[in-house]
């Protein structure tokens, strides 16, 4: 399968790539070595306006490989499969020699095989990006398609429990006690999920987060009200996650932005997934806390 190579420089718009052509893995490695990584990284420092992020992009069918340089001048490698259920895995802090070996393997391995290769790395970090997040011009994150994914996943889990309930009726139809206990169990499991889903939907209504990648400012919309923030004024970001991710309501997390002036805002994962926030606000102090029930406290 042919490999298409693209490059992005600081002077590019964030959505613009320079097409390098259909290249062999040897040519890609040579281009990787010649790419002015350090110079481009230095250029990007201090820029406020939207600009390109220096990186390589390799495409093989619906599989993409991103190679970028981080603030420690090491390489981050992301493998992505683009379809209705888009998935990504990232491995950080690679040396140039490690990246070259990954490029050599990219042409011969499928998506899952490449993930196994990344997981063997001591510096690997697992990312499971939101599937179907709605992006307006790649900068406006809002609750449109994302809530459909989460609610569909929730309803799927609820359907499984209902099927188990009906199965228990068929098997234990002579035992009203068993049927009654299974009905109570299903109600106990699903009731919090329905409540938390409605709670997150109501807290996400008409709200959105807008930013250009790697810029200093971002906007928060609550209906017609727009509030602009500077990343430099963020004191801390707290990710509120579920203690029970396998239960039906475990997919509904939220993020708290705490600013230096004492203010704060809360963003439901129906608007933007926490992994995408970690990617955009990667240099800001952050903390993760777990809760039994992810009720947005505001």
Question: Do 113 and 159 belong to one domain?
Answer: no
Same domain, 107 and 160: no
Residue 298: inside a domain = no
Query: Is 134 domain-assigned?
Result: no
Task: Tell me what pLDDT residue 245 has.
Answer: 75
Residue 244 is assigned to a structural domain of this protein: yes
Indicate if 287 and 144 belong to the same structural domain.
yes
Say yes or no: 111 and 208 in one domain. Answer: no
Secondary structure (3-state) at 151: helix
**Going along the chain, which residue ranges are E strands?**
4-8, 18-22, 55-60, 63-69, 75-81, 87-94, 124-125, 135-136, 140-142, 207-211, 217-222, 225-230, 234-242, 254-259, 264-268, 286-291
Residues 90 and 164 in one domain: no
Q: How much helix, strand and coil, in percent to the nearest 5, is found in the chain?
A: 35, 30, 35
Asked if the structure places residue 239 within a domain, the reply is yes
- Cβ count near 31 (within 10 Å): 16
The neighbour count for residue 169, using CB atoms within 10 Å, is 14
Domain count, the chain: 2
Q: Are 158 and 248 in contact (CB under 8 A)?
A: yes
**Rounded mean pLDDT, 20-36:** 88
Report in angstroms the alpha-carbon separations of 291 from 86, 93, 244: 27, 31, 8
Residue ending a domain, choose from 97, 128, 159: 128
152 shares a domain with 32: no
Assess if residue 133 is contained within a domain: no
Tell whether 297 is covered by a domain: no
Q: Of the ranges 76-80, 206-210, 275-279, which is most confident?
A: 76-80
Q: Per the structure block, which two tokens stand in for 183?
A: 């009905």
Token readout for 10 is 């600081």
Question: What is the extent of the structural domain holding 275?
Answer: 140-291
Mean of the per-residue pLDDT values of the chain: 76
Query: Could you tell me if 32 and 113 lie in one domain?
Result: yes
Non-local CB neighbours of 95 within 8 Å, separated by 6+ positions: 74, 75
Q: Quick check: is 178 in a domain?
A: yes
Query: pLDDT digit string (tens) for 118-145?
Result: 766 544 333 333 333 333 334 455 544 4
236 pLDDT more than 70? yes
269 and 177 within one domain = yes
pLDDT in tens, 155-171: 676 677 677 667 766 66
Name the domain boundary from 128, 156, 184.
Answer: 128
258 band by pLDDT with thresholds 50, 70 and 90: very high
pLDDT at 135: 32
Q: pTM for the full model? A: 0.48
| Residue 168 three-state SS | helix
Instruction: Mark whether 14 and 47 lie in a shared domain.
Output: yes
The answer on 150 and 118 residing in a single domain is no
Q: Positive or negative, the Cα torsion across 250, 86, 130, 191?
A: negative
- Domain's final residue, options 79, 105, 128: 128
pLDDT at 269 over 80: yes
pLDDT tens profile 68-102? 887 777 888 888 887 655 677 778 788 888 889 88
Same domain, 223 and 111: no
Same domain, 77 and 189: no
What distance separates the 2 farthest-apart alpha carbons in the chain?
Answer: 76
CA distance 64 to 79: 6
């Amino acid at each position: 399968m042919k490999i298409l190579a693209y490059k992005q420089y600081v002077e590019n718009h964030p959505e613009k790539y320079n097409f390098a052509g259909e290249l062999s893995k040897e040519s890609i490695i040579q281009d990787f070595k010649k790419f002015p990584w350090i110079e481009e990284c230095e250029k990007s420092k201090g820029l406020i306006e939207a600009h390109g992020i220096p990186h390589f992009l390799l495409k093989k069918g619906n599989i993409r490989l991103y190679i970028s340089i981080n603030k420690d001048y090491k390489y981050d490698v992301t493998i992505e499969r683009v379809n209705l259920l888009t998935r990504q895995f990232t491995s950080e802090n690679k040396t140039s020699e490690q990246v070259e070996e990954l490029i050599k393997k990219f042409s011969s391995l499928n998506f899952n095989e490449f993930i196994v290769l990344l997981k063997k790395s001591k510096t690997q970090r697992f990312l499971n990006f939101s599937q179907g997040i709605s992006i307006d011009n790649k900068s406006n994150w809002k609750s449109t398609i994302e809530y459909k994914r989460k609610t569909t996943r929730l309803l799927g889990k609820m359907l499984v429990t209902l099927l188990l309930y009906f199965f228990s009726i068929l098997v234990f139809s002579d035992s009203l006690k068993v049927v009654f206990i299974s009905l109570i169990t299903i109600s106990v499991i699903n009731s919090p999920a329905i409540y938390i889903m409605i709670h997150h939907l109501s807290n996400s209504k008409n709200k959105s987060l807008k930013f250009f990648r790697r810029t200093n400012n971002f906007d928060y919309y609550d209906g017609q009200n727009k509030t602009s923030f500077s990343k430099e004024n963020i004191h801390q970001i707290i990710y509120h996650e579920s203690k029970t991710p396998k239960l039906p309501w475990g997919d509904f997390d939220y993020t708290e932005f705490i600013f230096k002036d004492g203010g704060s805002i809360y963003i439901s994962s129906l608007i933007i997934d926490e992994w995408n926030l970690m990617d955009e606000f990667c240099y800001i102090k952050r903390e993760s806390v777990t809760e039994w029930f992810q009720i947005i406290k505001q």
